[in-house]
Amino acid sequence: MRSLTRIIYLLLITCPLLVSAQSEQGNYTAVSLSDLSAFGQASSNWSVKGGVTIHPENASSVKTQAGSGVLVGTPGSPLTTQVKAQDLRLRLEFMLSPGAEGYVQLPGGQRVRLADSRQQPVPNAQSAGFISQFPAQNAAKAPGLWQTLELAYDASVPTQAGSALLNDLVLNGVTVQQSVYLPLAKSIDEPQALSLEVTKGTIAFRNIGYQLLGDRKPLALQNMSYKLYNDSWNNPKPVKVVREEKTNTLTQEIGTGMREFHAVYDGEMNVEESGIYIFTVAYTGPILTLDIDGKQVIAPGESTSQDLHTGSVQLNKGAHKFRLHYSRFPWRPAALGLRVETAGVRPYDLHPLSSLPVPAPKPYMGVAPTGRPEMIRSFVQLNDEKYKRTHCVSVGSPAGWHYTMDLNRGALLQAWRGQFANVTEMWYERGEPQLLFSAGLTVPVSGKSSIAILKKDNTAWPDSADINFLGYRLDAQGFPMMRYAAGSATVHDYLVPGTDGLVRTINVDGTPSGGTLYTLAGAGKQIEMVEKGLYKVENRYYIRLDKRAKAVLRTSGGQQELLLSVTGSTSYTMFW
């Protein structure tokens, strides 16, 4: 079953604009949680609260706050929505108590399982994300953390009588189901309500949003013309016009027969419905820019394999001027596709099918630790950073807990659980841009140096500490112990998988000069002390301290930081 899922995934990424995926939150219609009026008759096992706090290990420790915005359910009758749907997108956040189980029921009766399955080594029918088949991997978070569920669902398939189609199901940012045909007891002729059910423990919901999908096309291109240039492929401002004409079609085929060219389209977008419009481009070439009403909406730069790039803009009803600039590589087949979507509308193409030829299959290349840990040197780029981190090593364990270190800064960049590493961009063809991507449930870390010498415990934490990497040593199992020089002291940084997370131990030999050595265990807008020795860093992960650890929870530079002083040795566990 997992092999079939991988094959379907590979087929989909070779034809990317055929996939109906949605990640923008602005186009969802919110289900009001000010009270229970957005639902049918509710029994006493459902209530609306202002907030909820759940202990990650104590199922009886569920605390709620008065107010609105959070739906809390316990075992009992399901809760159905007033809204009825057929084809839809759904997005919601949920929080589980330890051992909790429940379901989201879709039109036609198929149910998506919600469960505290974090510690299941292999996905099965009891895992979160199960819907008639096992999820591709276990992407469940720990109890007490808010989790996200996103799905795109067609309640009927014209070519498959009696079947629905789950286009994709994304759990906590990880695609765990894709292109799954689901048998239905009977065809869905009319919209049906959705329902939420709790069968064990407590489940809280918030930010529930939906889109009812239709086949209308509220945006069309009109009054178009183009200019075709034969300037060099990498000239950002071409001047050598070889042809200019009016046209009704947006396509790269106007340059057929030319090894390199620029095509610049000008025209109007006729918008029949005001709203947020999301544009997705797929192309092969060095330049692609899309400007609407003089505002740049998409400008991703070079693309070598028809990767997807997305931008969104608010458009009112009426005509809006646009310009699209596309340039072709001389050594790659030309390819250009433009797709649009908005609330309540299926994504549709603004280009002819022939403008975006099916590319040669791009294989997925992954690394899976078996028997011993795997270590991979690579570049890594964080989402909020412009430049790559160039001195990185990612360590994967057979137990399924992995992490990336920036050796140049002594910084823990990211940690994740599940599948290890996607190295396609490193090893396929020329291996450009040499980036490694985590392949499982990932939690971002601060990216700052993990160790630093501070004069006082209120001294600002440096973005890059004054330390020098001395190399690493492997233990008997194959896990590295990183070594750094911090002033006159030597620091040993050691991360290994524990029973329920990553255990990090930091030892120091010698006495640092100029202050006290600290490690940055966590940083974020909010760090909550769940109980003594247990902290929740935003909604990303937990930190459990060693009993001997001396912690400082402070506010600095507009965010909170959890520091541990290091004298001899200190350790803590990260889990999520």
Q: pLDDT digits over 360-407, tens only?
A: 788 899 999 999 999 999 999 998 898 999 999 999 999 999 999 999
> Among 279, 351, 292, which Cα is nearest to 321's?
292
Within 10 Å of residue 443's Cβ, how many Cβ atoms? 21
Q: How many helices (H) and strands (E) does the chain have?
A: 2, 42
Q: Which residues of 158-171 are buried (b: 16+ CB within 10 A; e: fewer)?
A: eeeeebbbbbbbbb
Helix (H) or strand (E) holding 496: strand 489-497
- Phi, psi (rounded to 5 degrees) for 4: -65, -40
The CA distance from 299 to 510, in Å, is: 51
Q: Is the dihedral of CA 313, 315, 321, 326 positive or negative?
A: positive
Half-sphere exposure of 253 (CA within 13 A, CB side): 13
Contact 225, 247 (CB under 8 A): yes
The CA distance from 514 to 452, in Å, is: 11
> Among 518, 350, 311, 491, which Cα is nearest to 407's?
491
Q: What is the DSSP track for 478-493?
A: S-EEEEEEETTEEEEE
Q: Is the dihedral of CA 115, 121, 125, 131 positive or negative?
A: positive
Contact 8, 330 (CB under 8 A): no
The CA distance from 130 to 103, in Å, is: 10
Architecture per CATH, domain 366-575, reads as Distorted Sandwich (2.70)
Q: What is the pLDDT of residue 428?
A: 87
Structure tokens at 63: 């605390």
Contact 152, 168 (CB under 8 A): yes
Contact 94, 149 (CB under 8 A): yes
Please name the amino acid found at residue 521.
A
Half-sphere exposure of 421 (CA within 13 A, CB side): 30
The CA distance from 217 to 199, in Å, is: 41
Contact 449, 520 (CB under 8 A): yes
> Among 508, 539, 503, 499, which Cα is nearest to 521's?
503
> What CATH number does domain 2-212 carry, 1.10.3720.10, 2.60.120.960, 3.30.540.10, 2.60.120.560?
2.60.120.560
- Phi, psi (rounded to 5 degrees) for 563: -110, 145
Q: Name residue 361's beta-bridge partners.
A: none
Structure tokens at 344: 């309540």
Contact 287, 326 (CB under 8 A): yes
Q: What is the pLDDT of residue 24?
A: 40
Helices (H), 293-423: none
Of all residues in the chain, what percent carry a pLDDT higher than 90? Answer: 83
The CA distance from 355 to 337, in Å, is: 6
The fold for domain 219-355 equals: Jelly Rolls (2.60.120)
Task: State the residue for tokens 């992407």.
Answer: 139
Distances (CA, A) of 338 to 174, 247, 308, 553: 25, 16, 10, 49
Residues counted in the chain: 576
The domains of the chain are located at 2-212, 219-355, 366-575
Q: For residue 355, is it left (φ>0), alpha (ψ between -120 and 50) or beta?
A: alpha
For residue 433, say if its preceding peptide bond is cis, omega within 30 degrees of 0.
yes
- Phi, psi (rounded to 5 degrees) for 18: -90, -10
The CA distance from 18 to 285, in Å, is: 20
Q: Do the domains 366-575 and 219-355 match in fold? A: no
- Radius of gyration, CA atoms only, the chain: 26
Residues 6+ apart with CB under 8 A from 49: 64, 65, 66, 67, 68, 69, 70, 71, 72, 204
Q: pLDDT digits over 181-214, tens only?
A: 999 877 788 999 999 999 999 999 999 999 999 8
- Pick out the chain residues at pLDDT < 70: 1-26
Q: What is the pLDDT of residue 25?
A: 52
Q: pLDDT digits over 276-331, tens only?
A: 999 999 999 999 999 999 999 999 999 988 889 999 999 999 999 999 999 999 99
